[in-house]
Structure 1
Amino acid sequence: MTQQDRDYPWVFHRDEIDVLEDELEDLYEAFHDTETGSLFESAVLGEQLETEERSDRELSSRLGFDVLEPPPPAVLSARQPLVAPSDPFETWQQELVHVRSHPLYQQAKRWAIGVKSVAKQVYEQGGGYAGECFRVYANVNLVPLKIFTALCEEMHEDDVGCEVAKEEYRLALVYIGRIVESLSLMSLSVEMSDWVQTSKTGAKELQEALVSARSNLSRRR
């Protein structure tokens, strides 16, 4: 990762979202080749893409520059440390370790793993709940990803980082909300009742933690 990537990681992690969408498209083509299925996949991914694009536009408007382009020199300059580290890459690696071990990220990661494992399996098997499981599967990886980006931005301790972090936390809440919607539609399934309930409980706990994280950011600025 270059210094420029480090200074605006929301662009770097946007690439990971593209990879996730490619993975989901490949998975869908492998298990669902009907016209109806294809339209449903497009609708789910279209919903996701529209959310991301709207977020980019609104965040760019608030910050005064396009978040998908390199930040203005003034922003980059403000993010330079007063004393340059002897090994910038090593410093960044240490920061990554700190973010990856953060309780909020770990909570999201554990929850996402449990949700994804069943959603992926049920989706691949097909059946009456395959569509809702696809929607869960399409959104769940974005939750820890958004939290990871937010935590990276918080480390800059500047206005830009604060604004980006709040937006990333908001998006994580949006995706959790969509997952809960789909889980609720599967609550009548006897076979998946335990997984649905456990996933919804974990989602509620994560939502509370995210709301708290956003509130803390707002109080700090």
Structure 2
Amino acid sequence: MFPVAPWLTRRDELNVMEEEFDELCRRHEKGAGDDAWEAEETVIREQAEAEDAMEAELTGRVGPEWLEPAEGCGHDHSHEGHDHGHFPETPLIEALRRDLDRDPAYQQALTWAAAAYRWSRSQYARERHPHLFRASVNACLVPMKVSYALNELMFDDPYSADVADKEFELATTYLSRARVSLAALAAEGMLEGDQVALLERAEDVARDIREARERIARERKFRKNGGAPTV
């Protein structure tokens, strides 16, 4: 189940989210070729295309050094030598402090995504509506991409800020897709009560991601002037 618990570290939460996303992919792969499966395939394909476009753009901008192919559905690339779930070598206390840190963009994304994901998945179990599947997949991806971005910013190299910015950009893309699907469901009268508020709360998530990208822009400038990572 989607992680929202005060005793979990961000690394633990990321592991759970990745497993949840992989499970979505595994369930899809086991499905037959009916209309619902075809709709799911469209969602999976558009996500893969977004990741491929991000990979191609970054490789063209900073070179292939940042890229290390890895197995897995939905997160099949990683910063070279940088496991998305781990931070660079630091003293244990410092590593734990960072791992327990709740960046506003991440906390907002996780809280929103947990509600959106749980609701859309539970509804999809009753009715295989394509927008329910699309909302659940993209909601799951938003905090994952924010977490990847924050992890990248722990590294002091020529391309970590670029990778982090693209991860935040993908988080924005997936958030937008989830919002579009939720709005479509609302138009069909399928959102009620607390679920309607998901559309409003998504704007708060988008704002925090924008602010995080602004911080990265400042970080880029700082690093170009010879500074160390500060974000």
Alpha-carbon separation, structure 1, partners of 2:190 and 2:39: 24
**How many Å apart are 1:67 and its aligned residue?**
3.1
Tell me if 1:193 matches 2:192: yes
Tell me the equivalent position of 2:22.
22
Asked if the contact 2:62–2:159 (Cα under 8 Å) also holds between the matched residues in 1, the reply is: yes
Question: Cα 1:164–1:42, aligned 2, differ >3 Å: closer, same or farther?
Answer: same
Alignment of 1:1-221 (within 5 A): 19-28=19-28, 33=32, 35-69=34-68, 71=80, 91-98=94-101, 101-126=102-127, 130-156=129-155, 158-220=157-219, 221=221
Note the C-alpha offset of 1:212. Answer: 1.4
Name the CA distance, whole Å, in 2 between partners of 1:213 and 1:132.
28
Look up the match of 2:71.
none
CA contact (8 A) 2:138 2:174 kept: yes
CA contact (8 A) 1:151 1:165 kept: yes
SS of aligned partner of 2:66:
coil
Give the corresponding residue for 2:4: none
Q: Secondary structure at the match of 1:155?
A: coil
Secondary structure at the counterpart of residue 208 of structure 1: helix
Identity %: 26
Using the alignment, how far apart are the partners of 1:36 and 1:108 within structure 2?
31
CA deviation after TM superposition for structure 1 residue 57, in Å: 1.4
Contact 2:168 2:213 in 1 (8 A): yes
User: Could you say what secondary structure the match of 1:184 adopts?
Assistant: helix
Query: Larger C-alpha radius of gyration, 1 or 2?
Result: 1
Preserved contact between residue 186 and residue 196 of structure 1 (Cα < 8 Å): no
Distance (whole Å) between structure 2 residues aligned to residue 139 and residue 202 of structure 1: 15
2:66 and 2:159 in contact (8 A); partners too: no
Q: What letter corresponds to residue 24 of structure 1 in structure 2?
A: L
Residues 135, 179 of structure 1: 8 Å contact kept: yes
Contact 2:120 2:133 in 1 (8 A): yes
Give the Å deviation of 1:209.
Answer: 1.1
Separation in 2, partners of 1:44, 1:171: 15
1:156-209 CA-partner distances (Å, limit 9, x unpaired): 355422111111110000000100110111113445233442111111111111
Q: Residue 50 and residue 191 in structure 1: after superposition, are their counterparts in 2 closer, same or farther (change >3 A)? A: closer
Closer, same or farther in 2 for the Cα pair 1:38/1:66, shift >3 Å? farther
Q: Distance in 1 between matches of 2:169 and 2:61?
A: 15
CA contact (8 A) 1:109 1:144 kept: yes
